[in-house]
Amino acid sequence: MTFATIIQEEEKEADHERDNRVEEKCGQLQQQKQMKQRQHQKDHRPRPKQQELKPGAFIVIFTTSNQIFSVICNLDVGTASTLINASNAVGNSYSQVVFSLQCLYLLVSPGDLFGALKFETFVYVFSPIVKIVIVAVLILVLEGIVRVINCLKRAKNKAQTRRMDRGERNNEAPIDDTKDTTLTAIVAKDSIPKKPRKKGLTDRFFMRLGAVAVAIFILEQPAIIGKLCQYLTCVQLDPYVPKYYVKSRNNIECYTDEYYFFLTSQWSFQHSSFGHSLSLLSSSLCSIPNGANSLIQKV
């Protein structure tokens, strides 16, 4: 090999390397260009289409306007309040049921107005717990029924397979090629992907019960808070008489021993300053504009 051929080969190798480098560079540039194009497309993506008009948006406007109208109308008692309260009667049928329950209570013990109010408050406050307990019992009963049905099905299938094994079916020969079937079963088992672990009875029970509890809480929480606030809200009917009455029931006097007893027995802080201050705070808050109670109920 002469010196000239060695130089030529070296030059060739250098050229080849340079070409490779240029190609690499070009590739990188092209990649960068594509990325830039993609980014540009992303940035200048056409805006999403206009949302479809849905009745939900109108219903939101309607409920909002109803709330505001009820607040405005409560400024002056009697102004179209019947028109606004009609929607309350339709929307919250629970209040009608409680009203009927109160009538029943008054039939049993007539004249006990404070007792009726206590009964109403208890019904409102403890009804979610009672409902959750009923649902828990129902879920357990349903689960039990499903288990019994599954057990029966399994027993039936077992009996059927046993019968088939013995060859007791109509003119059917007993299965001889047991080896083949087991082999196939082994192969099939390997090929089947592992199933996720099935949830147990307790998991399913708590999952369902939790869903029910959340739904009940969301539905009933406003009514409970409204009812408790109504109990705490007191108004002075006569400015010259220093006596306060429950705002929702003007025939029940506030800040009496019985009133405090019920208040403290509910919250377990007998004769604490917090209970008194809470009731005073709520009454002072709600007595500034007259529409407080309705807004609390709505909230």
Binding site for other proteins (CB under 8 A): 50-51, 53-62, 64-69, 71-73, 75-76, 79-80, 83-84, 288-289, 291-292, 295
Q: Tell me whether residue 4 or residue 288 sits nearer to other proteins (CB atom).
A: 288
Task: Write down the least CB distance from residue 161 to other proteins, Å.
Answer: 40
Burial label for 152, CB within 10 Å (0-12, 13-18, 19+), is exposed
Burial label for 191, CB within 10 Å (0-12, 13-18, 19+), is exposed
Task: Write down the least CB distance from residue 239 to other proteins, Å.
Answer: 18
> What is the sign of the dihedral through the CA atoms of 282, 283, 284 and 290?
positive
Q: Tell me whether residue 66 or residue 102 sits nearer to other proteins (CB atom).
A: 66
Task: Write down the least CB distance from residue 282 to other proteins, Å.
Answer: 15
For residue 112, what are its two tokens?
Answer: 């006990």
Q: Tell me whether residue 70 or residue 121 sits nearer to other proteins (CB atom).
A: 70
Residue 236, beta-bridge partner list: 244
49 alpha carbon, distance to own chain's centre: 30
Task: Write down the least CB distance from residue 87 to other proteins, Å.
Answer: 9
Q: Tell me whether residue 80 or residue 183 sits nearer to other proteins (CB atom).
A: 80
Q: Tell me whether residue 90 or residue 188 sits nearer to other proteins (CB atom).
A: 90
Rounded distance between C-alpha atoms, residue 135 and residue 76, angstroms: 44
Task: Write down the least CB distance from residue 47 to other proteins, Å.
Answer: 8
